[in-house]
Structure formats: C-alpha cells, structure tokens
Chain A
C-alpha cells in the first residue's frame, strides 16, 4: 500500500502518460482519463488488494472492471506504473500489434484486463457476475467498477442496478464518474440524468457522495465509507464528482477534450503543468 506521498508523485506522471499517449497517435480520450487519474491511482495504490502476477480468475484478490473503456489511457498508465506490465509498453498505445488497444481487451492478453469494454453499459453486469462468483467461492474480496455518468443512459445499467439492489450484491462497489459531461455536451443538454443518487437509493443501493472527486484523501475517505457499508445486503455506489480534464487547465470543465488529442503546442502546455516525477515512458 503506497503512502500518500507516493500517490502525489504518481498523479502528475500519470497525467503526462495520458497526454503523451494520446498525442503520439493523435487519438484517444484524455478528458475522462485526466478526470479519473486520482481515482485510479488511489484504487491501485491504496484501496485494492491484488497481485501483479496476473491470472484471469483473480481468486482471493480484489477485482476492478472499467465499464467506460474509452478512458483506457489512465487505466493503462496506472496498470503499468503499478507493475502489471512494463511502463515502456505505453508507447505502443493504439498502434498496430499492440496489447494496448484503443479500448481495453483481454484479446491481446494484457495483464490487468479481465473483460473487453468500449461498447458502453456492460461493465456493471460483468462486475455483478464476478461478485456472485466470489460469493460462491467464499472469497471475501471486493469487486470494484467504474462507469461514466453519461454511460448511465444505456439501459443495461438499469437492469444491472435493479439486479444488484434486488439481490443484495453487497461485495460490489461501483463508482460513477460524475463529471456531468459527454461527447455532445453536458449531460443536462444531451439527456438529463436526474437525481442519480436518489435513483440508485430507490433501486436499493447505498450511495456515497465524494464531492471532491479529484482529491486523493477525499477519494480514500469515500472508499473507506464504501467498504464500511459493504457486506450489508446492499450494493454500494460512489458518486465521484470529478472535473473532466483535471490537471491540465485548458482541458478542464469542458466536454471538448472527451475524444480529442492535444497538438504539439497544447501537449507542451499540458506537460509544463505536470512535473515529470517518476520518468516518462
């Protein structure tokens, strides 16, 4: 388990990885990746109990499923910097013959990935399945998942949310990246989500709001509260209030950088705002 100081060192480095990866291939999704950098670093450096000696079954360890697979840059960066595969492999992102596909996949055998995601709305069902298997295996470890807020417009989520609430899947902690942005604009403009927390509670979930979703101590406190609420016949959701593009000033508070890479000049500005702490890939 990493110290808070190590986490603080990782954050700017992961942001640099994200910017450099998407810049290098002029494609990918920096906005949501940057917005969830603190979440991923906290999850993999402090919250989850796992082995980097990866095996698909993941028995007797915590599992994580990324449902909104387009934020693969942050996932790949944090997996690499947590020891799942060489950091140098980040240079292959989205290139031919790479294990680091545009969206995460098990197909190329990248350690740390247990399901393909990209077509939205499927990850919560998968996480529920893994949680059910943990119960059958009498495995007390947790299942974590991450979902975009815009992704909640996909109906399958509500099937999954109904199931998890109705069946009391209490070894599942699902986080919603609540940045209120999606490709075409704000979620309110595209399709209002309504009161997400109230909806989840009505479906039988315990809901924990993390108002400072880009603040590591706040995220860790949210996970602590979520773990404390687990095991009580109810699934737990964390509403993580994040800022899309966090850590790169011109990318913040806008949907514009959802799926757009920075040019050379913009990359330089972004990198200048994030110190190289652990060495670029």
Chain B
C-alpha cells in the first residue's frame, strides 16, 4: 500500500491560524467579541483588534476576571473568545471556568496559545502539559487541539458556529502547514494515512511527526495508519475503533502528559469496546524545562523517531 503525500509550502505557527480565523469571523459575525489578558501580540489578536476595536476588550493581567467577564458577555448574545497562554487559560482559572462557564453552560471560546513544551525557552512555569486533562474533565466542554495553521483557522470558524463552551489549544512553534485540503468538523477525526499494522492516533504538533513516522515505518516494511484526532472531546470513537479492529495496535501521540490526555481517552474507549495494546507518546508525568522546541521534543520523546520506537514496541505486544 502506497503512502499519501502531504506537502507544505511553509512552516507557520498555529497561533497565527487562530489570529487569521478570529479576524475573519469578526468580519462575518458582529456578535463575536475578543478578550485578551495582555498578550495581544502573542495570541495574534491584533488583526481583530485593529478591525473591530469596539469589540476587543483588553482585560489586563487578570485572567480570572477575564473568564468571568467572558461568561457575563454571553448574556445578551455575544460570543466571547478569550486569549492568553494555555497555562493561564486553564490551571490558573480552573474554578472560574468550572462554575461561571462550564456549569453555567456559557458560550465562551477559551483560546489558548503556547500550549505544551514547545513554548520553549520560558520553561516549565509556562509549559502546561496538563490542560487537556483539566478541560476534558469538565462536563459539557468541547476540547480541540489543532495541528497546523490551516486547521487552527478552520477550527476558529467552527467553534464560533458551535453553541457551548470550547477549549481551543494551539501553540507557538512554526510547523508544516499541510492541511489546506482537509475538512474540519468538530468531533470528526481525519484519516490521514491508511495502514494495516499499527494505528498512530495523533493530535496537535505531533500530527506532522506521526506522518513522518509513518514514512519511516513504511521504509521498514511496517504499514502505519495515521489518524488526526483534533477534537479530544467529544472523541471520534468510531474512527479509532474501526482502525484498531484492522491494525490491533495503537500509538497515541500528543504534546501532553500521558495522564489525562488524548492517550487516556483512547485507552478508555478501547478498554470498554475493543481492548488493544497501546503505547503512549507523551510526557511521562513530568514538568518541562527551558530549551528550543526541537531540543525539548527530542529530550521528552515527542518526535517522529520516538513514535517509530513506540510503534515497534507495541507491535511486539500484538497477539
């Protein structure tokens, strides 16, 4: 079986996809408002701010207040998009999100940049690796982690049209922008590569790495199926089950702690419906540290080489 070719003309950060998407929906829907906690440039919210200054709210360094204001702004029909780093979008304001947004079922879009270890040199204080777990545990919360510029842009459109609270996670490093031709629908995974020996289920910055890993495995005579799960919750159970029924082995790939992330969500589905050997490409219950994104992905085992290694390990466990 041949491999599909995915090409890209440029590497660009996922946060820029958010910035472009936000400006586009700001033009299309006058109920869209944006709130930022003193990180307008980092979140690429300048284009929205410049086009719609009356709908842009600079909150200052006060994320708890930002979440509450966003919740309140939904009352009267606004669709608030909050923007700050992932760490300050989740752990710092968990109770505000829990009570004022999730439990109150407010139509707030929590948009979080600089997620995961690829935030890089700022180090562990800013590198949240627990956010997917925190957010997916909240009843009613939709959780999305996008893989490139174009997917992030499309996701920004999709969440504006979705009624209910959403956590949208993206990041800082420039990564291949390859998904222009791919559809985006909340809750629908994308089959990127068909294979028969092992399923690579990847999210966020690990999706391109999974495609690279599939190429490498192919050269070694191993046929890897690659699935992009951008929506961690609600999870596309059917797509994952269909694949593992064929391959009987799975590697989950994410820039997140192996506790609480995509891998655990996949494991739950498989445990309940189709027990399958699984390996986890994820951080191993640790904090990050300073370094370049590439150095950190290497050190913490979050790249194509690591996915190849884990795939072989899990293949050895196949009955």
Q: Mark B24-35, 1 if CB is under 8 A from A, else 0.
A: 000000000100
- Cα distance A133–B33 in the bound complex, in angstroms: 10
Shortest CB distance A100–B (Å): 16
Complex contacts, B71 vs chain A, CB 8 Å = 115, 125-126, 129
Pick from A58, A115, A133, A162: contact of B100, CB below 8 A: A115
Q: Which of A114-163 contact B (CB under 8 A)?
A: 114-119, 121-134, 136-137, 139, 155-156, 159-160, 162-163
Interface residues of B (CB under 8 A from A): 33, 54-55, 57, 59-60, 62, 64-78, 80, 95-96, 98-100, 103-106
Q: Is the CB of B65 within 8 A of A116?
A: no
15 A–B contacts from the bound complex (CB under 8 Å): A57-B77, A117-B99, A118-B99, A119-B95, A119-B98, A122-B64, A122-B96, A125-B65, A125-B96, A133-B72, A136-B78, A156-B64, A156-B96, A159-B65, A163-B69
Q: Is the CB of A107 within 8 A of B105?
A: yes
Q: Mark A158-178, 1 if CB is under 8 A from B, else 0.
A: 011011001000000000000
Shortest CB distance A11–B (Å): 29
Who on chain A is nearest to B106 by CB? A115
Pick from A63, A107, A125, A159: contact of B103, CB below 8 A: A107
Q: Is the CB of A156 within 8 A of B68?
A: yes
Knowing A116-B104, A130-B75, A132-B69, the reply to whether A125 touches B64 (Cβ < 8 A) is: yes
Complex contacts, A127 vs chain B, CB 8 Å = 72
In the complex, A56 has a CB within 8 A of chain B: yes
Pick from B60, B67, B74, B76: contact of A137, CB below 8 A: B76
Shortest CB distance A110–B (Å): 12
Given contacts A119-B98, A122-B64, A122-B96, 16 further A-B pairs with CB under 8 A are A57-B76, A115-B100, A115-B106, A116-B99, A122-B99, A125-B66, A125-B100, A126-B100, A128-B68, A129-B71, A129-B75, A130-B73, A133-B72, A136-B76, A139-B76, A163-B69
In the complex, A46 has a CB within 8 A of chain B: no
In the complex, A253 has a CB within 8 A of chain B: no
Shortest CB distance B54–A (Å): 7
Shortest CB distance B279–A (Å): 39
Q: Is the CB of B65 within 8 A of A132?
A: no
In the complex, A214 has a CB within 8 A of chain B: no
- Cα distance A139–B75 in the bound complex, in angstroms: 12
Closest 6 CB pairs of A and B: A129-B72, A125-B68, A133-B76, A159-B65, A159-B62, A129-B69
Shortest CB distance A205–B (Å): 15
Complex contacts, B62 vs chain A, CB 8 Å = 159, 162-163
Q: Is the CB of B72 within 8 A of A116?
A: no
Q: Is the CB of A116 within 8 A of B55?
A: no
Q: Mark A65-91, 1 if CB is under 8 A from B, else 0.
A: 100000000000000000000000000
Q: Is the CB of A115 within 8 A of B76?
A: no
Who on chain A is nearest to B77 by CB? A57
Complex contacts, A162 vs chain B, CB 8 Å = 60, 62
Complex contacts, A156 vs chain B, CB 8 Å = 64-65, 68, 96
Q: Is the CB of B72 within 8 A of A126?
A: yes
Interface residues of A (CB under 8 A from B): 56-59, 63, 65, 105-107, 114-119, 121-134, 136-137, 139, 155-156, 159-160, 162-163, 166
- Cα distance A23–B258 in the bound complex, in angstroms: 48
Q: Is the CB of B69 within 8 A of A126?
A: yes
- Cα distance A260–B70 in the bound complex, in angstroms: 34
Q: Is the CB of B100 within 8 A of A136?
A: no
Who on chain B is nearest to A160 by CB? B65
Q: Is the CB of B103 within 8 A of A105?
A: yes
Complex contacts, A131 vs chain B, CB 8 Å = 72
Complex contacts, B55 vs chain A, CB 8 Å = 136
- Cα distance A134–B67 in the bound complex, in angstroms: 18
- Cα distance A121–B59 in the bound complex, in angstroms: 17
Q: Is the CB of B105 within 8 A of A129?
A: no
Knowing A116-B99, A116-B103, A122-B99, the reply to whether A63 touches B75 (Cβ < 8 A) is: yes
- Cα distance A160–B70 in the bound complex, in angstroms: 12
Complex contacts, B99 vs chain A, CB 8 Å = 116-119, 122
Who on chain B is nearest to A60 by CB? B76
Complex contacts, B74 vs chain A, CB 8 Å = 129, 133
- Cα distance A116–B138 in the bound complex, in angstroms: 15
Who on chain A is nearest to B58 by CB? A167
Q: Is the CB of B95 within 8 A of A133?
A: no
Complex contacts, B76 vs chain A, CB 8 Å = 57-59, 130, 133-134, 136-137, 139
Q: Is the CB of A116 within 8 A of B100?
A: yes
Who on chain A is nearest to B71 by CB? A126
Shortest CB distance B100–A (Å): 5
Shortest CB distance A203–B (Å): 13
Pick from A56, A107, A122, A166: contact of B68, CB below 8 A: A122
Who on chain B is nearest to A69 by CB? B99
- Cα distance A123–B96 in the bound complex, in angstroms: 10
- Cα distance A127–B71 in the bound complex, in angstroms: 9
Who on chain A is nearest to B103 by CB? A116
Q: Is the CB of B72 within 8 A of A130?
A: yes
Q: Which of A106, A117, A156, A160 has the most CB of B within 10 A?
A: A156
Complex contacts, A125 vs chain B, CB 8 Å = 64-69, 71-72, 96, 100
